[in-house]
Amino acid sequence: TDQAPWHIIPANHKWYRNLLVAEVLVEALRDAGLSYPEPEEDLDGIVIE
């Protein structure tokens, strides 16, 4: 399904399995549209001594 896709990952070679799993994870994270939140307060006036 679109909400829970399946991926066929061969496990004959660990390095190849790890590469494919990493590629699937990177694609999923990029498609998630994550971003850092904007600060809620004006931090320009803060002075660190």
Question: Nearest-CA neighbor of 34 among 43, 42, 25?
Answer: 25
Could you tell me which residues come within 8 angstroms of residue 9 by beta carbon, excluding any fewer than 6 positions away?
Answer: 17, 20, 21, 24
Length of the chain: 49
* Percent of the chain whose pLDDT exceeds 90: 61
Mean pLDDT of 2-30: 93
Q: What is the mean pLDDT of the chain?
A: 89
* The pLDDT value given to residue 44: 78
Q: What SS3 state is found at 47?
A: coil
Tens of pLDDT, residues 18-35 = 999 999 999 999 999 999
* The pLDDT value given to residue 26: 96
Structure tokens that stand for 42 in this block: 């004006």
